[in-house]
Structure 1
């Protein structure tokens, strides 16, 4: 049996009470992604964004994980759309450029992918 600290026990015992809270849904989406349940994570993250009143950069992490989930579940047009929306808020986000570039590559659009892949390498050191 695993021993949990009192704080961990408190978190575990309150999980069901918080399941509708945005932060708890965010944590659940991260768990789904880690378990490679990309489609399920994408659904949860889309709902989280739809329910959000934020219109700015505060949801960058949510948008980025959504784009990654869409990419890994081969929903390439969705990955491009979400990553491009993220780039409208933060044009220097290297991973978003990488996702757009890789998605375009997988669609056979190597010429369109190159600028994004170069920016991903320059801004974030991603080797492409």
Structure 2
């Protein structure tokens, strides 16, 4: 953790920097920036989603699953969170657990990638 106290501005800067790090495929760097934000704001959905993505991209599937499950519990109508949780479970060879999340994602938001993951196009 940094030597300086965290402020709302610091959290915003670190969140945006973490987004950029994910864009350039540095998920571990993103996690380092996001952990203190989650520590200070554990209920913040946007931070949990971004950190879940970072964990997923760095193959930390258990941690990704925990973040995505937290979001799904708090926002059961969050299509992206269901999709991301489904992808995480699928990547861990848990297809039967992933399927309902893919279907919910597609039902909540009929984006082509959600629809395809749910198997509705087959």
Q: Which residue of 1 aligns with 2:57?
A: 72
Which of the two has higher C-alpha Rg? 1
CA distance, structure 2, for counterparts of residue 37 and residue 112 of structure 1: 28
SS of corresponding position for 1:77: helix
TM-score w.r.t. structure 1 length?
A: 0.75
Q: Which residue of 1 aligns with 2:105?
A: 120
TM-score w.r.t. structure 2 length?
A: 0.79
SS of corresponding position for 2:52: helix
1:87 and 2:72 aligned: yes
Of 81, 96, 105, the match for 1:111:
96
CA distance, structure 1, for counterparts of residue 10 and residue 91 of structure 2: 36
Give the aligned length: 106
1:63 and 2:52 aligned: no
